[in-house]
Amino acid sequence: METTPIKPVGTLFGVPASRDLSSSLVAVLGVPFDMGYHPTRVGARSGPAHVRTHSALVAEHLDGFGVDLLGDLGVVDMGDVELLPGNVEHSFGAIEQALSTIVSAGATPLTFGGDGAVTLPQLRALKKQGRDFAVLHFDAHTDAYEGIYPYEYNNANTFIHAVHEGLIDPAASLHVGMRDTEYRGSPGIIGVARDLGYEVIGMDELIAIGVSALVERIRQKFAGVPVYLCWDMDVFDPSVSPGVVTPSWGGITAREGLAILRGMRGLDFASFDINTVSPPHDVMGTTGSLAAQVAMECLFLRHAGEPLAAANL
């Protein structure tokens, strides 16, 4: 009896839904968690499903690159971590365990948050698996804030905990895209991160040096070093990425973001962490679609190949 082919639905780019990682170089994992602290913009817990939905249109462009990207990498979608938004004690352990499963199988995680708090348990998982890596963090904020919320763990102090727990070497890591600036000699929020030992390239400096120079600095700094790429969607300007937890004007354009991502091809990536998509605030699915495009670019980063020229954008 002839059967009708059935294509999986509800996964990133329509890849197989599976927890069998024996033939996979990349495993997709949703992390539907947010702290729920923001007074008006709670919703990042729904981010993974939103990005998967809007990835269908982005997937239509996969045929034009001359490679079987998804097939070559054996990409599978493992689904979402079972957790409780706002409950750190339960959820952080579950996130860490889920990521450890991927890393121990030899696959590269591609995760979707969730707000910026989801990064800390992922860093813990990689560290416990004995992975050496440095963090490359694109964000409008350093996530190294002190005294923002009266809670030990929150979505604004991830990279303070990462240093205090010895998960990363801050001097080997890099924050890019922050909007905070010095004012009348005050070090500002960026100064807190720098005091911790981080290198920070804020938007003012990024504008001054340009995308090409930024890419060259990144390639030099991370040459031969496994990279944990943390891409907060609010690094983009709200005009192209409105559906985020904490929008901040003056960010990078979509074209600039894709140029940066494509310029990093050839580096070694240990993990991809795309977060802070907030569906209730996403106009016409713009941010969900752009996040799916960032995910596609991450797959190309994992795929063997030379850097794509900016002219190929």
Reading phi first (left if > 0) and then psi (alpha if -120 to 50, else beta), residue 11 is in beta
Q: Is there a domain that residue 154 lies in?
A: yes
On whether residue 125 sits in a domain, the answer given is: yes
What pLDDT score was predicted for residue 311?
A: 37
Residue 91 lies in a domain: yes
pLDDT one-digit tens code per residue, 251-294:
999 999 999 999 999 999 999 999 999 999 999 999 999 999 99
Residue 246: pLDDT band by 50, 70, 90 thresholds? very high
Question: What band does 4 get if pLDDT is binned at 50, 70 and 90?
Answer: low
Question: At 59, which amino acid appears?
Answer: A
* Residue 204 lies inside a defined structural domain of this protein: yes
Range of the structural domain that residue 105 is part of:
43-308
**Residue 18 placed within a domain:** no
Say which CATH number the domain at 303 has: 3.40.800.10
Task: Give the dihedral sign, CA 137/141/147/148.
Answer: negative
Give, in order, the Cα–Cα distances in Å from 215 to each of 39, 134, 220, 260, 308: 36, 16, 9, 6, 12
Q: Place 53 in a pLDDT band, splitting at 50, 70 and 90.
A: very high
Considering its fold, how many domains does the chain have in total? Answer: 1
**What percent of the chain clears pLDDT 90, i.e. is strictly above it?**
79
What are the pLDDT digits (tens) for 82-126?
A: 999 989 999 999 999 999 999 999 999 999 999 999 999 999 999
| 27 belongs to a structural domain | no
In this structure, is residue 23 part of a structural domain? no
| 90 inside domain | yes
Give the pLDDT score at 7.
56
User: pLDDT category, 174, cuts 50, 70, 90?
Assistant: very high
Q: What is the mean pLDDT of residues 14-42?
A: 93
Position 5 pLDDT exceeds 70: no
